[in-house]
Amino acid sequence: MIQIETTPNPDSLKFLSEKTLSTIGTEEFKKEKSNVIKIPFVKELLGFKGVELILLSEKFLSVKKTKEVSWNELKPMVISHLNDYFEKNDKPILREREKIEESNNNDNETVNKIIEVLDTKIRPAVARDGGDIKFISFKNGVVKVELQGSCSGCPSSLMTLKQGVQNLLKHYVKEVNSVEAA
């Protein structure tokens, strides 16, 4: 059964599943890059009119839509697509991780502390809103992150970044001076 939750972003909904959608963590997929996506479920969902971005996580899928389409027409299509997948498959949609590029200074102790705070303190909070946060880099006291899923383009994302993420990182990792969107 699929349950739906609203997110702070009116153009994004979170579809919760009892079944596991991903065993490899959270991945974001954008319509403009759909030509390189190999996963049929994702490619088909991005092909729906109005779907511009999807975020797949262990137990939820966030869909971000354009203004030209309403949730009344899109919601049943997404639910039907998910149900159809699990009628035909008993495996999660995402099972194998393609090589994700790691930060070139990942062995750096400060970077490891930043990633730990993102993973333990921040990621669970943004996941509740149907999003994710991805570490991009740390240089000269500035952390660059990318907000994904429902958080991408959300009206309150800048506030989330500055008041939430930046304050937490500065509190736990003294080397951090500021946080910026990548």
Q: Which of 57, 53, 52 is nearest to 27 (CA)?
A: 57
Q: What is the pLDDT of residues 92-150, one digit of tens each?
A: 998 865 433 334 444 488 898 998 999 888 888 888 888 888 899 999 999 999 888 87
0.85 exceeded by the pTM? Answer: no
Contact 4, 13 (CB under 8 A): yes
Q: What is the pLDDT of residues 2-29, one digit of tens each?
A: 999 999 899 999 999 999 999 988 899 9
Q: What is the CATH number of domain 2-88?
A: 3.30.1370.70
pLDDT interval class at 49 (50, 70, 90):
very high
Question: In angstroms, rounded to a whole number, what is the distance separating the alpha carbons of residues 105 and 127?
Answer: 26
Residue 106 DSSP one-character state = T
Q: Average pLDDT in the 21-48 region?
A: 91
Q: What is the CATH number of domain 109-181?
A: 3.30.300.130
The number of CA neighbours under 13 Å toward the Cβ of 122 is: 29
